[in-house]
C-alpha cells in the first residue's frame, strides 16, 4: 500500500530534478554507512539542540542552526582529534592560573569555557 502512495511522488520528484538538470545519485538499498558523517551531524544537532527548543519559525530555526554549527566547528572538543578543538584560535592560552570565562549560545544551552591570553 505504501509503495503505491510513494511511486507518484518519486516520479514527480525525479521529473523535477530532470527539469533542473540535476543528476540524482541513487544509493544502494540497506547502505547506512554511505552517509555516516551527515547522519552523525543530524543526530548531534537533533539531540543536543533541536529536541530541546520550541522553534518559532523559519528565521528562528536558521538562527539556531547557525549558532549550533558555529559551536560544533569552533567550540566543541572533537574525539577524533584527541578531544582538541578543530580551530584552537578560540582558546589560545591554557594557563593553570587566571579566571575562566564562559561563552554561551542559545540562552546557555551551548557553553564554551576558555581563558584569555595573558
CA distance 44 to 105: 16
What percentage of the chain carries pLDDT values higher than 90?
15
Contact at 8 Å (CB) between 84 and 78?
yes
Q: For 8-19, write each residue's pLDDT tens digit.
A: 667 888 888 888
The reported pTM is 0.61
66-90 mean pLDDT: 76
Contact at 8 Å (CB) between 103 and 111?
yes
| pLDDT at position 66 over 90 | yes
Amino acid at each position: 500500500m505504501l509503495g503505491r502512495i510513494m511511486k507518484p511522488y518519486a516520479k514527480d520528484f525525479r521529473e523535477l530534478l530532470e527539469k533542473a538538470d540535476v543528476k540524482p545519485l541513487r544509493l544502494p538499498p540497506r547502505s547506512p554507512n554511505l552517509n555516516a558523517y551527515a547522519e552523525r551531524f543530524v543526530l548531534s544537532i537533533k539531540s543536543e539542540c533541536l529536541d530541546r527548543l520550541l522553534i518559532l519559525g523559519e528565521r528562528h530555526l536558521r538562527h539556531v542552526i547557525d549558532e549550533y554549527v558555529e559551536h560544533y566547528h569552533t567550540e566543541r572538543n572533537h574525539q577524533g582529534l584527541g578531544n582538541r578543538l578543530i580551530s584552537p584560535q578560540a582558546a589560545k592560552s591554557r594557563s593553570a592560573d587566571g579566571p575562566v570565562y564562559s561563552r554561551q549560545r542559545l540562552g546557555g544551552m551551548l557553553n564554551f569555557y576558555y581563558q584569555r591570553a595573558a
